[in-house]
Amino acid sequence: MTIAQYLLLSSVLFCIGIYGVLARKNGVMVLMSIELILNAVNINLVAFSALTDNIAGEVFALFVIAIAAAEVGVGLAIVLLIFRNKKSVDLSEIDQMKG
């Protein structure tokens, strides 16, 4: 196995996640795409950890997993609050800050 195949797989996932963040309008769908991006980063961390035989990459992958869990918790709370106030989670309607 080469390192490049893992890096290419993770960049495919990353770019699909980027497309999802930009092309989706529903708040929950954008959060799912962010999960794709974070998982792409984790594949990179673990692959480099195996390449350099250094455990730090795996430890940081665990930290990323913990932070992703916190992020999705707070993100969903924000989406729920938006839903309660506007009766929709359509991100293109949230434009009160637009000048």
Partner 1 sequence: MVAQNVFFAILALLMIVSALKVVTTNNIVHAALWLVLVLAGVAGQFLLLGAEFVGVTQILVYIGAVIVLLLFGVMLTKASIGDEENINMPNRVLPAVIGTLMFAVMSYSIIDSYRGKELPKETVTNAAMVSDSIFSDYIIPFEAVSVLLLAALIGAVVIARKEVA
Please, which residue, 4 or 97, has the CB nearer to partner 1? 4
Rounded Cα distance between 29 and 19, Å, is 11
Please, which residue, 58 or 94, has the CB nearer to partner 1? 58
Which residues of the shown chain bind partner 1 in the complex (CB under 8 A)? 1-9, 11-20, 22-29, 31-33, 35-36, 39, 42-43, 46-47, 49-51, 53, 55-56, 58-59, 61-63, 65-74, 76-81, 83-84, 89-90, 92
Amino acid at the residue 29? M
Long-range (24+ apart) CB contacts under 8 A made by 15-23 are: none
Please, which residue, 68 or 94, has the CB nearer to partner 1? 68
Q: Which of 97, 2, 98, 94 is nearest to 48 (CA)?
A: 2
